[in-house]
Amino acid sequence: MLDAVTRSKSIVDDSASDSLPPTHDKQGRPTRSLPLTQLMRISLYWLGISAVWSGILDIVNGRLQFAHLAEKGSEGIGALQIALVGTVIAVAVQPTVGSISDYTITRWGRRKPYIFIGATLDVVFLYGIATSNSVAAIGAFVALLQFSSNFAQGPFQGYVPDLVPGRQVGLASGLLGLFSALGNLLGYGAAALAVRQSGTDPNSFFYGTMAIGVIEFVAMLGVVAGVHEGTRVKQRNGRSWFAIAREAWGFDILRERSFMWLVGSRLFILIGASLYPVLSTFYLAQVFGLDAQQTGDTKIILLGIVAACLTVAVIPAARLSDRMGRKNIIYGSCVMGAIGLGLGAVAPSLPIAMLGAGLFALSAGAFLAVDWALMSDIVPKASTGRYMGISNVATASAGTVALAVGGAAVMDTVNNWLGYGAGPRAALLLGVFCYVVGAILLHPVVERRREDGPAPAGSAA
């Protein structure tokens, strides 16, 4: 592993194209193809991250609904209170640490130390969540978990632009989407089992929480041991680390107009995509009147449907995006996601709701496969940690916005106005609107690889 670590004599300044090694082009994109095993290792940690956040949010919602941490009719507000402070921390930490990692020089490389430290702290804070028994305490540990998780995520997300040549970006993005989908399934599976057993085993939520921590830690070890980062870092040129951290939030980013439009599009699409997962426990319990065991059993069935649909969608969508264009696949994803949420909103029975969930999963799989490829194509290659961290502000905040607007504002309000159970349906209809807005914001994005040359005059480059 240490054969690929950084050495000071091989550090190059990314701003000087004539000093780039022959394995990179003038834009800083690698040109040497990577074996499939290396592409899979680059993607592996995303499985752990996804398992943690899909699992912990669902477990917390299960405790709110069935362990009575929140009063009836205020479950959405309780979930928002737990998530809110942590989201602010995530938005601040991820781009900042990602930018710092662009300049970091260690024997492990510029990304791995952050990934190792962040994932290790994640396990500690998950234990804190698992052993806490109040909304305030759980919220405090979720905030700490957001700090540690995003401390790792910001640097990690630079790997695809750092290491993957342009011709393999579609495949690499598909693998990221696949591992992310698998992580979501593992997280939701752990949560579903915890909810199902909560009626008979008071420790089920503890076991579910710690299980997702183990999944993430093992995935992290696979990345740290198996990914070869190379030797290229940016030079600080005498600047302090405070100046480097502040650089993450420089206004020069506004000149990257395609990037800014894509971040906005991502935010709305991910809000729509978050509503089903973050409200699924409330949806099943409130709309169809299921108890804890029935909710858990139904979620396990849904998990199988979602797993099949995600598996079918991810890799084909990534490969098709190389031929049809990234944006066209995302547009199709938005249409399918809106139909899936719409069916869930009006479903008179569980089978119809499951059909909607299947369409939603196909949409999510296609988006996960292509979104990373498009972002990787357009970000400046010398500052991938910074830009990928900024892009993930949308990911970090989408779930909380979904809880704030879809849960606290729409679900709780409609439940109190129209009757308990109407709220989750109204929240899913809000998701349809979010998909529409996301598709509209995607239109100005110039779909081109940055290394292919300048954008046409007048475009949103």
Least confident of 1-10, 216-225, 312-321, 373-382: 1-10
List pLDDT tens digits, range 407-438: 878 998 999 899 888 999 999 999 999 999 99
Under 8 Å CB-to-CB from 193, ≥6 apart: which residues?
204, 208, 296, 300
List pLDDT tens digits, range 188-226: 889 888 888 887 787 899 999 999 999 999 999 998 888
List pLDDT tens digits, range 372-394: 778 877 777 656 666 776 777 77
Looking up tokens 């961290």, which residue turns up? Answer: 389
Among candidate residues 227, 131, 330, 83, the one with its CA nearest the CA of residue 75: 83
Domain 27-239+253-452, architecture per CATH: Up-down Bundle (1.20)
Domain residue spans in the chain?
Answer: 27-239+253-452
Q: Residues of the chain with pLDDT > 70: what percent?
A: 85
CA distances from 329 to 66, 236, 320, 321, 368 (A): 39, 39, 8, 6, 11
Residue 299, sorted as left (phi over 0), alpha (psi -120 to 50) or beta, turns out to be alpha
**Once rounded to an integer, what is the mean pLDDT over residues 72-78?**
74
- pTM as predicted: 0.69
Question: What is the predicted pLDDT for the residue at 384?
Answer: 63
CB-based contact 414:283 (threshold 8 Å): no
Instruction: Go through 28-61 and write b for each residue having 16 or more CB atoms within 10 A of its CB, e for each that does not.
Output: bbbeeebeeebbbbbbbbbbbbbbbbbbbbbbbb
Question: What is the predicted pLDDT for the residue at 46?
Answer: 87
Question: What is the predicted pLDDT for the residue at 19?
Answer: 39
